[in-house]
Amino acid sequence: MKIPSLLLRFPRCYFSRRTYSVNFGFASRADFLGAQSLESAHRCHTKWICSSNCLRRELCQQAAPEQQAEGLSDREQRLVDRLYHGLIQRHRASLAEAITLIESTHSGKKKVAQVLLQKVLSYHREQEKLNQGKPLAFRVGLSGPPGAGKSTFIECFGKMLTERNHKVSVLAVDPSSSTSGGSLLGDKTRMTELSRDMNAYIRPSPTSGTLGGVTRTTNEAILLCEGGGYDIVLVETVGVGQSEFAVADMVDMFILLLPPAGGDELQGIKRGIIEMADLVAINKADGDLVVPARRIQAEYISAMKLLHKRSKVWRPKVMRISAKTGEGISDVWDKMSEFRDLMLTSGELLAKRRKQQKVWMWNLIQENMLEHFRSHLAVKDKIPLLEEKVLRGVLSPGLAADLLLKAFKDGL
Ligand SMILES: Nc1nc2c(ncn2[C@@H]2O[C@H](COP(=O)(O)OP(=O)(O)OP(=O)(O)O)[C@@H](O)[C@H]2O)c(=O)[nH]1
């Protein structure tokens, strides 16, 4: 859309505020006049068109990726085909490359990733049909405070599963690593034996991005792992922060791993997380720690009786285990299998997965909208000033939010 020369010559006349905002992308006539030169006016305007188009394009990509296949270049299409075939032939290198692709923030790569995902999803649906509609993989979330023994547990549990002919993938979600610059959870030195096992695949979460971004990539990585033939997908997260809530919303079963420590030592663990747990495993129940582990187990059993019942067929269990000696690990798997069977036969598992799809969609919308809001010309420059006023206490957060929202709406 070209800005009419009349507007450039007579910016104060002829045009209503609505014309400036709706048609030309400026919050107001004053904003247009604020654009210092003709060139910058054009630049602002082009940027506005680009950002609107980007959002539109991104939403379209997510809504109907199959249509995007038409928009791919030959090279991109060849990449999709190569990764897709590698994935379904269970090549680990293709899975790794595909996950790197979905983690990319580059818009071109994002487009390719969505087409690949759509292909994997179709393949998945076919496979599930052949499996009488039952899910092919069991998605398990594992959370616990630092030092609870998560990696020791995964190493021991994962090895037990691969020995029983399962294929296990471990996705480590650690949004806090965006500040430290490295993903602690995904560090393979934490699970040395399992990372060498050909039937296991360990993958750190992206080391940058928002929680929303991590949610998207983890959800998509789960689908890719399933497409790659992994029948158990373990999503590990550190139990302090918000990531465990996001993870609980993308798995079939959520397990909380706790050390044999009570009250004060577990301050970092939020009550809400305990409510999400389908199984609580008190780890380190060995040697001198057996007695405290028993006590903590009893405490959790009584505390969990008071929690709101989330399933008609399952009551959360509290077990004692030792990831170091391996004691109780196969019992954990038995309980997990029992959970899965009950949830499947009752229909609760499929209902949960469907609900999760909706949550995922809204998470994506929220993330995209927020990004669009923050970068919108009508609010971008106002944000620092209003934030500063809120920090100084001269403006209430509610009023600041209202002002920004109004500027955004006017600028649409
Ligand atoms: N006695 C005993 N020690 C254990 C057990 N499991 C883990 N540990 C020890 O607890 C410490 C922490 O174990 P990790 O597996 O690294 O714990 P984590 O939860 O992965 O910790 P982060 O990597 O900090 O998140 C290590 O020194 C382990 O050897 C267990 O079952 N018994």
- Cβ-in-10-Å burial (0-12, 13-18, 19+) of 59 comes to middle
Q: Is 284 in the pocket of ligand 1 (CB under 6 A)?
A: yes
CB 246 within 8 A of CB 254: no
Using a 6 Å cutoff on CB, does residue 177 contact ligand 1? no
In this structure, which residue's CA is closest to atom 21 in ligand 1?
147
Pocket flag, ligand 1, residue 320 (CB < 6 Å): no
In this model, does residue 247 exceed pLDDT 50? yes
Cα 323 to averaged position of ligand 1 atoms, centre (Å): 8
Could you give the domains of the chain? 5-64+364-411 (no CATH), 135-346 (3.40.50.300)
Could you tell me the maximum CA-CA distance found in the chain, to the nearest angstrom? Answer: 85
pLDDT of residue 385: 93
Phi, psi of 255 (to 5 degrees): -115, 135
Asked if residue 66 has pLDDT above 60, the reply is no
- Assess whether the C-beta atom of 21 lies below 6 angstroms from ligand 1: no
Stretch among 18-27, 145-154, 220-229, 399-408 having the lowest mean pLDDT: 18-27
User: Ligand 1 centroid vs 239 CA: distance in angstroms?
Assistant: 14
Of 147, 146, 153, nearest to 281 by C-alpha is 153
Residue nearest to atom 24 of ligand 1 (CA): 146
Q: Identify the burial level of 283 via C-beta atoms within 10 angstroms of its C-beta, where 0-12 means exposed, 13-18 middle and 19 or more buried.
A: buried
- Rounded to whole angstroms, the Cα distance separating 148 from 72 reads 46
Least confident piece of the model among 341-345, 376-380, 402-406: 376-380
> What's the burial of 311, exposed, middle or buried (CB within 10 Å: 0-12/13-18/19+)?
middle
Q: How far apart are CA 21 and CA 334, in angstroms?
A: 62
CA separation for the pair 166, 200 (Å, rounded): 9
**Centre of ligand 1 from the C-alpha of residue 167, in Å:** 24
Which residue's entry shows tokens 């397990």?
Answer: 255
The CA 94 to ligand 1 mean position distance, Å, reads 32
Mean pLDDT of the chain: 79
Lowest mean pLDDT segment, chosen from 162-166, 246-250, 400-404: 246-250
28 compared with 340, residue with greater pLDDT: 340
Q: What is the mean pLDDT of residues 204-217?
A: 64
Per-residue model confidence (pLDDT) at position 240: 59
Q: What is the ipTM of this complex?
A: 0.96
Lowest model confidence (mean pLDDT) among 22-26, 87-91, 239-243, 358-362:
22-26
Of all protein residues, the one whose alpha carbon is nearest to atom 12 of ligand 1 is 147
**Residue bearing the CA closest to ligand 1, atom 6:** 149
Claim: this prediction has a pTM higher than 0.80: no
In short, whether 262's Cβ falls inside 6 Å of ligand 1 is no
pLDDT at 36 over 50: no
Among protein residues, the one with the nearest Cα to ligand 1's atom 15 is 149
Binding site membership of 324 for ligand 1 (Cβ less than 6 Å)? yes
Among protein residues, the one with the nearest Cα to ligand 1's atom 10 is: 149
Distance of CA 317 to the CA centre of its chain: 26
Mutate to test the pocket of ligand 1, among 143, 152, 255 (most ligand atoms within 8 A of CB): 152
